[in-house]
Amino acid sequence: MPVDAKKKELVGPFANRGREYQRKGCPEAVRTHDFPDQELGKVCPYGVYDLTDNRGWVSVGVDHDTAQFAVESIRRWWRRMGRGCYPRAQALLITADGGGSNASRHRLWKVELQKLTDDTGLAIYVRHFPPGTSKWNKIEHRLFCHITENWRGRPLINHEMIVNLIGHTTTKTGLTIQAELDQNTYPTGITVSDQDLRSINLIPAKFHGKDWNYTIKPRQQA
C-alpha cells in the first residue's frame, strides 16, 4: 500500500486555486494575503491508499509532520479499515518516498514501525522509492490528485470542512476515502540512540537492503 504526506494546507478564508460556481454577484470573500491564521494554522493530510480495494485513508494532522504522525496514520488505517478488509493478513507491504516523515534513513520512522508491528503482530515489508522518483508513488495520482480536484476553488475554512471534503471525494472508478482529524501533538527533534536502533528486528532485503528495502518483524518472533 502506498503511503505519503500531502502538502500542508492553510486553514481559514484563503484563496484556493480553481473555480467553483457561485450565485452571480455573491463571490466568497477571502483574504488578500496568505499569512497563516494564528489559531487555525495549517493541516497536514497523511494518506494510506489500498491498491487492491481502491480505498484510501487520510489522517488530517494539526501538528508537525513527523515519523510518529506517519506511523500513527498507518495504525489508524489498520484499525479503521485494513483489519476489516484483511482479517487473515499476516504482513503489510508499504511503498513510501525516500524522504519526509517516512524517509528511508529516518531512525524514528523505523522505531515507530517496530512499535506498530509489535502491536499488530504483522510483519511490515517496506519499499522506498529511489531519489527523484517520488512521482512513481501511486498515492499521488490515485488519491491526492482527486482530493485536490474536489476542493479546488473552495476556501478551506475549518478542520471540519477539510475532513468532509476529503471524505466525500469519489471517482467513477469507485474510489472512496475515509478521513479523520488527528489532534495529537507530535514533537520534533526526537533522537534515536544506536541501542534503540539495534533493538529493531529489521531484516535488510538482498537488493539495496541498507538503503531502501527492508522488513520489520514483531520482536516476539525474533
Cα–Cα dist 182/128, whole Å: 25
Q: pTM of the predicted model, to two decimals? A: 0.89
Q: How do strand 176-182 and strand 55-61 relate by DSSP bridges?
A: parallel
At 35 the pLDDT is 63
Domain of 71 in residue numbering reads as 3-221
All cell numbers assigned to 68 = 510518529
The angle that helices 107-120 and 67-77 make with each other, rounded to 10 degrees, is 30
At 222 the pLDDT is 46
**Residues 29, 13 contacting (CB under 8 angstroms):** yes
pLDDT digits (tens, 9 = 90+) for 33-74: 666 667 778 999 999 999 999 999 999 999 999 999 999 999
Cα–Cα dist 11/37, whole Å: 7
Q: How many domains does the chain have?
A: 1
Low-confidence ranges of the chain (pLDDT < 70): 14-37, 153, 221-222
At 16 the pLDDT is 64
Main-chain phi, psi angles of 9, to 5 degrees: -125, 140
Q: Where are the beta strands (DSSP E) in 11-105?
A: 42-50, 55-61, 91-96
At 200 the pLDDT is 95
Nearest Cα to Cα of residue 95 among 213, 204, 6:
213
**Is the alpha carbon torsion for 164, 186, 96, 134 positive or negative?**
positive
CATH number at residue 166: 3.30.420
At 211 the pLDDT is 84
